[in-house]
């Protein structure tokens, strides 16, 4: 099982990003087992040399190998996360949304 984490990063410090990511990984492994592979999609140098669209393309490429996509709290306010959500939904990759009300899930898979 491979999991991709979609998380907002704009205006967040590296410490905040890494902390949110660690919590997401704990949640994923708790649900799916410690052997769940986390796709490494956190690019520490994302602010340099390439456009945000280039990095989004790289993220989508990585997401294409995921069995599930985990969306961190605040994803709906981040344009890249919204694109990743749309792609996961349209390409039938199961979605997990962190800390949401079950009535907000629509037809998304709940685990």
Which tens digit of pLDDT belongs to each residue from 48-75? 677 889 889 999 999 999 999 999 999 9
Q: What is the pLDDT of residue 109?
A: 46
Q: Which residues of the chain have pLDDT under 70?
A: 44-48, 100-111
pTM across the whole model: 0.83
* pLDDT in the model for residue 49: 74
User: How high is the pLDDT of residue 104?
Assistant: 45
Q: CA–CA separation, 36 vs 79, rounded Å? A: 27
Domains recognised in the chain with CATH numbers: 2-104 (3.40.50.10400)
Cα–Cα distances in angstroms (integers) from residue 87 to residues 35, 57, 81, 84, 91, in the given order: 25, 11, 10, 5, 6
Inter-residue contact 58 to 68 (CB < 8 Å): no
């Amino acid at each position: 099982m491979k999991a991709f984490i979609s998380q907002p990063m704009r205006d967040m410090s590296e410490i905040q990003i890494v902390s949110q990511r660690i919590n997401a990984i704990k949640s994923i492994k708790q649900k799916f087992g410690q052997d769940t592979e986390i796709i490494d999609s956190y690019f520490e140098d994302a602010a340099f040399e390439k456009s945000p669209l280039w990095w989004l393309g790289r993220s989508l490429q990585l997401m294409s190998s995921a069995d599930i996509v985990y969306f961190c709290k605040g994803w709906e306010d981040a344009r890249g996360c919204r694109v990743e959500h749309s792609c996961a939904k349209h390409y039938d990759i199961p979605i997990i949304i962190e800390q949401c009300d079950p009535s907000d899930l629509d037809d998304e898979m709940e685990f």
